[in-house]
A and B are shown apart, each in its own frame.
Chain A
């Protein structure tokens, strides 16, 4: 079993590292896949492990994106002048400025959403079930509208990111650079969550999902864990947002940053598709979802959303527990569950 694990992680890591060189044309798509996996995995911290369906994680995505962009620009140039009328003056980042700004921006893009998650979480994580879901749904929508009214970050005009510095490398190098940053992020997220789920923290999250009142009665400060859980999600989602902004190159408040109808829904869908509440579920879900969508996008132009709708219906009807859940039901012994054959047969005959 140990050896098997090693082969699995080794081959995945190997795949991630060499992918941009084997499939150079698909670098961008695979980079997006890593981002999607991060979104699905972090959503699963709430939606799957903790049993709190949130639609608000997109808030951190957008905030991270704007924070990263503003830092990258604001560190070296007056931000207001940059965004006013979409950059009436043309500012050019030198290579050191670009990378300094980028890394500082990325760190802040993680930390600030994390703080916001802590503050908001303190206020609303007392809500449960549908009330929490609706409340977070409102957060994402409100954030988009508010961002669309703030002049210094371009308001409805949107914001253009600093271009890749001219004197180093070409566009290939740029794609490779962002590819590896995305890959590093997905690995970091995975390793962190795998570790976190193996500690008491993971058990508490599951306890909250299974019976929050009982967990509280057992002396667990559930609120504290709920807030920390959300902050963890916000940290990784914020960084993903900062990366996304740089890869797309243009931030639009409602369509790119606080993209509730697209990424906001996708992250939920991917986690459920793969199987929520499992470590691998969101990863598999995101991969399947991305392939499915890209495939339809290319070969059945204009039908991709119809197909997506059908996919959702199929998932809900036939795989309510997701791909992982379905596999688990079908092959429980492969998940380390012991099935008593006699017991199972007895149940059948009882019917």
Chain B
């Protein structure tokens, strides 16, 4: 039975392979501080994963070229190890473990999406590795008592609450009828919780409450119901693909509602992809370039927008901006801690209180950014050119909200 010999050889070959692969402890290599990140380069979040990665890289280049990070009288540069989590939470958790255990990473950056952040957080927490994340907004991330998780963005349930309040206000303070459809994932379900809370608070009635499958390609059934019941507000959330699907089918079926509230309009480049069909869609966003926050690395939002476009060839959606902000938080924390010890850096992170081009950042004990409100913008078109205009909060409003949305027959 020579086949057994073959198997023995095979096993020893594997053993040899494993033992020769080098394990580098990459916490700090030379003058480089190594950060680890698993982002979605393939799969359903690949577009937003790319935005996240570009946001990280843009900030790393900027910080490194403007003098790097000064810790204990020495200047360090940032470097990031990336892995592709394939938009899969199982993978993401494995990769986090791999970054920490094999690559020796001591400082983590978040992945894209709440679901993947939820998958990674237990791993970083267990290994006591601080993680600054910019793309996990799910409320449940901040209710578990995590000590090593810091999020620069506002929680998901705040996304569309404002929109409901706005609709009630426009209705003369009277309760409204809400139709809503949410994808089955951590983020969208949290947005839903926010809307349900807002509905309770204002005494509004939810007439349609649909759950949509992942990889949203068709929501005609929901829209048919909307056409029949004529609610005041239609709320849709399902990442970029959900936003694109919703607009396409609303236009095809000529669904008339007074207000259409969504998420991920800018990440999906809605105004460009669907042009006039997307007009009047109301979108929640973490950031908009016209906001007047400032910092010394990127200047302000307008400048960030311009320079990002020059480098990557497209206007940065808020996913890129918040990712860049995460690096600014890391730099600030390292310098204040004046140490590379991960626990000291964690304590410094917890005390963060700063302004970036993206907004103010200050963490609650649960690691949530409590210093920055959400913004709402509406897609508005002039001729064939469509743009996102901030309509709420009023402090930064660049345009008046159009309400109710004109009927399709009048457009």
Contact = CB atoms under 8 A, between A and B. Distances in A.
Interface of A: 1, 4-5, 7-8, 11-12, 15, 22-23, 25-29, 32, 85-88, 90, 145, 148-149, 155-158, 160-161, 163-164, 171, 174-175, 244, 248-250, 252-256, 259, 262, 280, 284, 287, 291, 297, 301-302, 304-305, 327, 331, 334-336
Contacts of A334: 1-3
B8 A7 contact: yes
Contacts, number: 155
Nearest to A249: B122
Contacts of A157: 138, 140, 186, 189-190
A161 B90 CA distance: 13
A101 B15 CA distance: 35
B126 interface: yes
10 contacts: A8-B8, A87-B144, A158-B115, A158-B118, A244-B90, A254-B184, A255-B88, A284-B7, A291-B14, A302-B42
Contacts of A249: 93, 119, 122-123, 126
A25 B94 contact: no
Contacts of A174: 126
Nearest to B23: A25
Nearest to A145: B213
Shortest Cβ-Cβ A-B pairs, 9 listed: A86-B140, A156-B184, A249-B122, A334-B2, A250-B119, A256-B90, A252-B89, A148-B184, A25-B102
B93 A248 contact: yes
Interface string B129-154: 00000000011110111000000000
| Residue among A156, A171, A175 with most chain B CB within 10 A | A156
A336 B4 CA distance: 12
B228 interface: no
A252 B1 contact: no
Contacts of B165: none
Given A22-B19, A255-B115, 6 more contacts: A7-B8, A23-B18, A25-B23, A148-B214, A250-B93, A331-B3
Nearest to A9: B4
Contacts of A336: 1
Contacts of B143: 85-88
B123 A15 contact: no
Given A287-B14, A335-B3, A32 B94 contact: yes
A15 B14 CA distance: 11
A254 B41 contact: no
Contacts of B127: 171
B4 to A, nearest CB: 5
